[in-house]
């Protein structure tokens, strides 16, 4: 008998966040960049928090970041999530911070200021890509 597994929940894009999620499906990390002061912002919003301008463009991010903070979750708050898993906040090279997971790395090897790079992970059995980060290749 096959084991039934609940699907993982997917993001529900709003009008403001839809371009971000559409970019993820093309495997591009897009951020809003203010046309007036050049400030990058995430999550998407109507106004620039620095200068209050409503003028912006979507700009492709470099995909480079550093771990700002992280923790390991041992309790699943939704049955589709396998535990344990890490939840990280990364500081993007462009400035904004975002929540994500660090992949291709043991949880005990993650550290603050760890250089990481963007990868897109396809959600199992669903045609949806999420931005994740892995340890940066040494150059």
Tokens encoding 96: 């904004």
CA distances from 26 to 19, 32, 45, 52 (A): 11, 17, 21, 30
Residue 60's DSSP bridge partners are 30
What is the tens place of the pLDDT at every residue in 23-75?
999 999 999 999 999 999 999 999 999 999 999 999 999 999 999 999 999 99
Tokens encoding 108: 């005990």
pLDDT for 33 equals 98
CA distances from 91 to 43, 53, 84, 114, 127 (A): 13, 23, 23, 10, 27
Q: What domains, with CATH codes, occur in the chain?
A: 15-60 (no CATH), 62-139 (2.40.50)
Count Cβ atoms below 10 Å from residue 52 Cβ, excluding itself.
10
pLDDT for 77 equals 85
pLDDT for 48 equals 98
Tokens encoding 89: 């906040």
> What is the signed CA dihedral for 99, 100, 106, 108, rounded to 10 degrees?
0
Residues 73/83, Cβ–Cβ less than 8 Å: yes
What is the tens place of the pLDDT at every residue in 74-95?
998 888 888 999 999 999 999 9
Q: Is the pLDDT of residue 1 over 70?
A: no
Average of per-residue pLDDT across 97-124? 96
């Amino acid at each position: 008998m096959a084991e039934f597994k609940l699907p993982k929940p997917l993001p529900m894009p709003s009008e403001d966040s839809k371009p971000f999620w559409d970019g993820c499906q093309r495997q591009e990390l897009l951020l809003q960049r203010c046309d007036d002061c050049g400030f990058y912002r995430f999550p998407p919003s109507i106004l620039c928090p620095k200068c209050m301008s409503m003028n912006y463009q979507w700009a492709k991010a470099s995909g480079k970041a550093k771990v700002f903070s992280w923790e390991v979750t041992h309790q699943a708050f939704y049955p589709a999530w396998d535990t344990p898993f890490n939840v990280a906040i990364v500081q993007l090279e462009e400035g904004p911070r975002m929540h994500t997971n660090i992949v291709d790395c043991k949880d005990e090897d993650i550290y603050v200021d760890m250089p990481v790079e963007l990868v897109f992970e396809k959600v199992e059995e669903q045609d949806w890509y999420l931005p994740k980060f892995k340890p940066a290749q040494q150059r």
